[in-house]
Structure 1
Amino acid sequence: MGTFDVRDMMKADAAAAAASSMLGASEKGQTRRFHPLAERIAAIPVKPTLSPVMIEGVARLLDALAVLGSGALVYWLYVSGKTTHTLPYQIAIPALALGSLGVFQALQLYPIGALRNVIGSAVRLVTGWTMLFLVTLAVFFFLKTSDQVSRGWLIGFYFAGAGALLGGRFMVTAGVRYLTRSGRLERRTAIVGGGEAGEALIRALEGQKDTGLRICGVFDDRNDERSPDLVAGYPKLGTIDDLVEFARRTKLDLVIFTLPISAEARLLTMLRKLWVLPIDIRLSAHLSKLRLRPRSYSYFGTVPVLDVFDRPIADWDIVVKWVFDKVVGTLALIVLSPLMIATAIAVKLDSKGPVLFRQKRYGFNNETVEVLKFRSLYHEMTDHSAAKQVTRDDPRVTRVGRFIRKTSIDELPQLLNVVFKGNLSLVGPRPHAIHASASNRAYEVVVDGYFARHKVKPGITGWAQINGWRGETDTDEKIQRRVEHDLYYIENWSVLLDLYILAKTPFSLLTKNENAY
């Protein structure tokens, strides 16, 4: 999604409404799910955004490589083969690389605002690099090793390092400015709570530089004078119930509450509706009379907020999990390809119909994804909507289907979803069919907060599955326990946990398959 301004859109809507009224084109009696402006915002195409934490990490990596590379290059050109004292160089180069990261961090050279300001950053960068080199010379002097280090190497390293660091910083600045213009660094934000508190927060945020926040609108359950339709120039787009759907459709990144901590009951009611979303939720402390230690807050510029919920698996964790899925998924696809080919042949010979079965299921953020499976039911009895779950001795299941469902071999084509489509992970909450139910009631009706399991990408296997909560969900307890395990996984995710689940999966398929038919 490119940059946009809600206030400009509101002015355009007002002009269009005035023209429409002049033409007598009113639409009285028509109801909308959303405020008209909310509909327009939700219709804007969304581009994936990049986390500032990741951009800052790339900048640090480039700085470290610039120091390591320039030091090694000057050594190779000027010193290599001409000295027997190699240890000081082997220690000094990586030590200067690590030291530069510490000095540049202290000089505030990595926040997004500094990465945009190339002139100011360049001055501080050269200053920090010079200070670090002076300290290095002093260390060589006091350790009495200065006669073992080439002065030509030191001079060459200083200037080559400065040039490499400046060149890297110019590249990062150009990249950051491009990403900013294209809207890839924006954090789409909604404010909850109108009135004076909401207006004060918006004014404070607008007074900050380089926060990257793009305010989409204000939401409030109140409809009296305490919550006007316009707050600091931004429209009130609806209630908290509207915000849940709005957040999903607009890929909202952040929600900030302006309610006072004293409004505990009202705050908890709202949070109960919003915690199922894969977004960050913050509580404004801008006007709060309660003062905590500075370390207790996080900040947008100088505006303090309290962290309530964080998006699970964010920033570099997303990259780590993506690489894990692609690498391990590709290896699994190669290793299991003979079994998959044999299964495909068996399915084709056993009954008429296609080898693969495609079904729409809930994915990340409640979006629908098409999941691939080996067909295990007779083609004419295929149930794409999962209106009726497969039960013990179900006559719809083929002979081959009974075996591949019991062993979960029918799920193996989902490796294609992981490796090529990217809409599934190897490990995560299992994607449920859209119309799946327990005790003839939809899952979201049975389990309070059911959709919180969609805060991460679904997986082929998961924590619930290796603990025996797989297969038919004919009782409320089965789906409740499955969701409990899914939420535990989301809250405690790590690469080691994913590896453990993958290693445990084959054994659980053999020992905990009483509910798989």
Structure 2
Amino acid sequence: MNEIDPARRFTATAVRKLEASATKETPAGINEVARQVASQYRRDTMSPVMVSGVVRLIELALMFASGLAAYFWYVGVFEYLPWQYPLAIASISLLAVILLDVADCYQIAALMRPFNHVGRIVLCWSAAFALMAVAAFFMKMSQDYSRVLFAIWFATGLALLLVFRLVLSRLIRRWARDGRMERRAVIVGGGKAAETLIRSVEKQPYNDIRICGIFDDRDDSRSPPIVAGYPKLGTISELIAFARIARIDMLIVSLPITAETRVLQLLKKLWVLPVDIRLSAHSNALQFRPRSYSYIGAVPMLDIFDKPINGWDSVAKRAFDIVFSIIGIVLFSPVMLATAIAIKLDSKGPVLFKQKRHGFNNEVVEVYKFRSMYAEQSDPTARKTVTKNDPRVTRVGRFIRKTSIDELPQFFNSLFGSLSLVGPRPHAVAAQSHNLLYNEVVDGYFARHKVKPGVTGWAQINGWRGEMDTNEKIRMRTEYDLFYIENWSMLFDLKILLLTPVRLLNTENAY
């Protein structure tokens, strides 16, 4: 993969340009060369974890369908043992997928090189049949089933599996070459340690890591501008802006564990990003138990932070949002219709109010609300917080703000994907407390944006809603939001969703 990395396409002229622009920063806080590299990675990629999961589902379906086809062809359409045969076929198919998973046949390297794993595939497929045969023998049911049918299924199912793997390997290789399936990584820290790490990663055959560049606070005399063919694109502070633009998946810190103070300083800056953070253990003398490591090929990494709600968790959460958003829209449609009519009768202006707020990964999203202020006095930036008896709020506005009815249009935000139903509440881009932006009040405030913001959240049902008129309120809301991110589960989301209507009865801080 690395031979086509945009980060390595630097001629002598480009290197001079990098050096010349080292102090020239764009408005986003990164130099022009770093911005050009980041712009080449803007497109979202397919997660290898998701690809592997989808392959499991496809192979399960293939095995079951081939078994069912063999049953229909040899026995007839549900003419004999109409539910027992399908149950046995489904059990063998599921067992085969589990065994293939245990044998690491769903790793990306295995999917890329199917011929190297034919033995394991045949063994797992055979083991699934053998285990079911043993189970049927001890249950005294084996005489009821046709051995010819299962022999036919064994042969056709295995053939389908191998052909599918062969086609899939070609697809995955193409996706890897085109940059459509990869994990984008940045090396944090330069010099010899970074070069050793990069060489080790590049030696790993068929790994899914694409190194996008290097970031280091040290000057060129201590950390060269080009390491192993990759450019040093800026400092650690600039890395945060770069990682958001380039949609980086992983930060690999190439510093020794013994450099404790420096590692902690880096992590304090970087933990706000929605990425996996790994500490390279390749050249460390300290050794940990094998379970302490994750690996890129054979290169050991210590897991420092994991991206929250990632992989299949994100799929489950999205499905949760879609289902419950539709339910919410249906249930509250009479209330929303009545509210729209009341707003129109009460004051001039549009029914809906749109406000730009910080979303996932600090991206700006447009959030819908019912208009609660006089149109000419609306404050899209939320620079001035709404207070008790605020003259800008209409009569209808006071009621819908108290009862949170003004938030109901955000069910559509959740349905379309800019918000989640449950998550940290999104704050307006220019929201302030005592003339300070929220991120200036709370250290690590932007860590709230490691997940998609929500219509409701853990902070809100614990009383931290409404006016944020003190710095302590901002800190407490952020603390509850971070607790939610670190402890997320589907049951936690369901709990928050069910408690929201009850907790909204407390309208003390809602104006």
* TM-score range normalised by the length of the shorter chain: over 0.9
Q: Distance in 2 between matches of 1:361 and 1:454?
A: 11
Contact 1:219 1:237 in 2 (8 A): yes
Q: Which amino acid aligns with 1:514?
A: E
Q: Distance in 1 between matches of 2:62 and 2:224?
A: 54
Query: Who is 2:11 aligned against?
Result: 11
Question: Would the alpha carbon gap of residues 149 and 262 (structure 1) be closer, same or farther in structure 2, given more than 3 Å must change?
Answer: same
Contact 2:25 2:31 in 1 (8 A): no
Q: Of 494, 504, 507, which aligns to 1:499?
A: 494
Q: Distance in 2 between matches of 1:54 and 1:379?
A: 46
Q: Distance in 2 between matches of 1:139 and 1:406?
A: 62
Q: Distance in 1 between matches of 2:221 and 2:434?
A: 45
Query: Who is 1:414 aligned against?
Result: 410
Aligned residues: 508
Counterpart secondary structure, 2:111 = helix
Counterpart secondary structure, 2:156 = helix
Alignment of 1:80-91 (within 5 A): 80=76, 89=85
Counterpart secondary structure, 2:373 = coil
The answer to which of 486-495 and 157-166 deviates more is 157-166
Contact 2:41 2:247 in 1 (8 A): no
Query: Who is 1:509 aligned against?
Result: 504
Shift of 1:301: 0.1
Q: Distance in 2 between matches of 1:12 and 1:414?
A: 52
Shift of 1:477: 1.1
Q: Of 313, 316, 326, which aligns to 2:312?
A: 316
Gaps of 5+ in 1: none
The answer to which of 58-67 and 125-134 deviates more is 125-134
Alignment of 1:2-401 (within 5 A): 4-11=4-11, 13-14=13-14, 33-44=29-40, 46-80=42-76, 89=85, 92-122=88-118, 124-130=120-126, 132-133=128-129, 146-223=142-219, 225-401=221-397
The answer to which of 88-97 and 470-479 deviates more is 88-97
Q: Distance in 2 between matches of 1:223 and 1:29?
A: 12
Gaps of 5+ in 2: none
Query: Who is 1:438 aligned against?
Result: 433
Contact 1:194 1:219 in 2 (8 A): yes
Q: Distance in 2 between matches of 1:504 and 1:139?
A: 46
Contact 1:377 1:401 in 2 (8 A): yes
Q: Distance in 1 between matches of 2:343 and 2:3?
A: 50
Counterpart secondary structure, 1:262 = coil
Shift of 1:408: 0.8
Question: Would the alpha carbon gap of residues 78 and 39 (structure 1) be closer, same or farther in structure 2, given more than 3 Å must change?
Answer: same
Q: Distance in 2 between matches of 1:27 and 1:477?
A: 41
Counterpart secondary structure, 2:175 = helix
Q: Distance in 2 between matches of 1:10 and 1:126?
A: 46
Shift of 1:487: 0.6
The answer to which of 129-138 and 438-447 deviates more is 129-138
Query: Who is 2:474 aligned against?
Result: 479
Counterpart secondary structure, 2:176 = helix
The answer to which of 299-308 and 364-373 deviates more is 364-373
Shift of 1:414: 1.3
Q: Of 401, 406, 428, which aligns to 2:423?
A: 428
Q: Which amino acid aligns with 2:302?
A: L
Shift of 1:15: 8.3
Contact 2:216 2:223 in 1 (8 A): yes
4+ residue runs over 6 A deviation: 26-29, 81-88, 141-144
Contact 2:22 2:234 in 1 (8 A): no
Q: Distance in 2 between matches of 1:28 and 1:247?
A: 18
Q: Distance in 1 between matches of 2:49 and 2:21?
A: 47
Shift of 1:338: 1.3
Counterpart secondary structure, 1:510 = coil
The answer to which of 291-300 and 73-82 deviates more is 73-82
Shift of 1:115: 1.2
TM-score by length of 2: 0.92
Counterpart secondary structure, 2:223 = coil
Shift of 1:504: 0.9
Question: Would the alpha carbon gap of residues 489 and 148 (structure 1) be closer, same or farther in structure 2, given more than 3 Å must change?
Answer: same
Q: Which amino acid aligns with 1:168?
A: F
Q: Which amino acid aligns with 1:14?
A: A
Percent identity among equivalent residues?
A: 52
Q: Considering only aligned residues, what root-mean-square deviation do their CA atoms show, in Å? A: 2.7
Query: Who is 1:461 aligned against?
Result: 456
Counterpart secondary structure, 1:245 = helix
Contact 2:22 2:31 in 1 (8 A): no
Contact 1:350 1:400 in 2 (8 A): yes
Shift of 1:516: 0.7
Q: Which amino acid aligns with 1:9?
A: R
The answer to which of 229-238 and 339-348 deviates more is 229-238
Q: Distance in 2 between matches of 1:82 and 1:5?
A: 55
Query: Who is 1:449 aligned against?
Result: 444
Q: Distance in 1 between matches of 2:294 and 2:462?
A: 37
Shift of 1:119: 3.4
Counterpart secondary structure, 1:10 = coil
Q: Map Cα deviations across residues 453-492 of structure 1 (whole Å, 9 max, x no partner).
A: 0001111111111111001011111111111111111111
Q: Map Cα deviations across residues 103-132 of structure 1 (whole Å, 9 max, x no partner).
A: 323443211122122433455423542454
Contact 1:109 1:121 in 2 (8 A): yes
Contact 1:9 1:37 in 2 (8 A): no
Q: Map Cα deviations across residues 311-342 of structure 1 (whole Å, 9 max, x no partner).
A: 00000011011111111101211221111111
Contact 2:272 2:450 in 1 (8 A): yes
Shift of 1:173: 3.0
Contact 1:471 1:515 in 2 (8 A): yes
Counterpart secondary structure, 1:159 = helix
